[in-house]
Amino acid sequence: MTTSDTESYAHLGAKAREALALPDAARIQTIRAGTWIALDHVKEVLGRLEELRTYPRVTRMPCLLLVGPPFSGKTSLLEHFRDKHPADLDPLAETTTCEVLMIEAPPKPDLSDFYSRILDALMAPYKPTAPVHEKHSQVKRLFAQVGVKVLIVDEIHHLIAGSQNRQREFRNALKSLGNETKVSIVAAGIEEAYTAFNADAQMSSRFHPYELPRWNLGKGLGTLLKTLERRTPLKNASDLHMPSLMSAIHARAESNLGDICDLVKEAAVKAIRTGDEKISQPLLDKLDWVPPTKRKTFRRDA
């Protein structure tokens, strides 16, 4: 790309400028694939997770409860941390290691399913019908063998799908696993996770809560939109951070990070297909987009 082109596309970062040379279909794929954005709160959470990974083995290991609304970036953040510390579980290698292990909580507080998910993530052979205590023992042995330091349990709000006795049993199992293996546990879920953990004084004191922020109109959202625009290969500047467009995007995405990013993606795709090559208020008005709170009751007109 020439110096003149660089000046013409000053609203874009270097990678986005390069992507302008791609066919439209490839540009659309690039846009929809998204990009990792190291937001301030993301950096803070990653820092906390890194502290857990390097924490010395003590009697009471620190744990974290990560809470946020649906589609607020919890899972992407946790997967990013896991991928920074990839496991080496090659059975033919001299040693196998897995410092960070991530699973999704069972759809209900079922301990057998919980331990099976851990064993599956560790690619360990086991008998699915084995008693819970056998799976528990196998998990403890494997944690020691592969050096697990942080266990991430996503969608922990599934815990409240069971009876009070099942919830209590599951919470006790989490505490026991952390105590016996000296592994820090990171639980993540929507706001209902508070309910699941606050029902047990020991759990609420052990798991330090961190609530992901909602996005309000202001400097932070403007910075996010500027970053998204710089990474979105459109030929014309959209000025997403300007008050009118920022307000429109915020309103339609309902302050949700994931929906803000997806709305910008789909608006950019439409901008390519219409030839506008920028996101504008008229384009947003015509976009086939249903706000998050209306999706459950959405009915398309006949």
Domain spans of the chain, in order of start:
3-33+216-291, 40-211
Q: How far apart are alpha carbons 254 and 235 in whole angstroms?
A: 27
Residue 302 pLDDT level (bands cut at 50, 70, 90): very low
- With a cut of 60, say whether residue 298 has pLDDT above it: no
- With a cut of 90, say whether residue 13 has pLDDT above it: yes
pLDDT reported for residue 6: 52
Q: How far apart are alpha carbons 12 and 274 in whole angstroms?
A: 20
User: What CATH architecture does domain 40-211 belong to?
Assistant: 3-Layer(aba) Sandwich (3.40)
Which string of b and e fits 247-281 if b means at least 16 CB within 10 Å? ebbbebbbbbbbbbbbbbbbbbbbbbeeebebbbe
- Residues 106-111: what's their mean pLDDT? 94
pLDDT reported for residue 34: 86
pLDDT reported for residue 91: 62
- With a cut of 50, say whether residue 49 has pLDDT above it: yes
The closest alpha carbon to 69, from 254, 298, 218, belongs to 254
- Residues 159-176: what's their mean pLDDT? 90
- Residues 280-298: what's their mean pLDDT? 81
Give the global pTM.
Answer: 0.87
How many CA atoms within 13 Å lie on the side-chain side of 162?
20
pLDDT reported for residue 256: 85
Helix then strand then coil, in percent of the chain rounded to 5, is 55, 10, 40
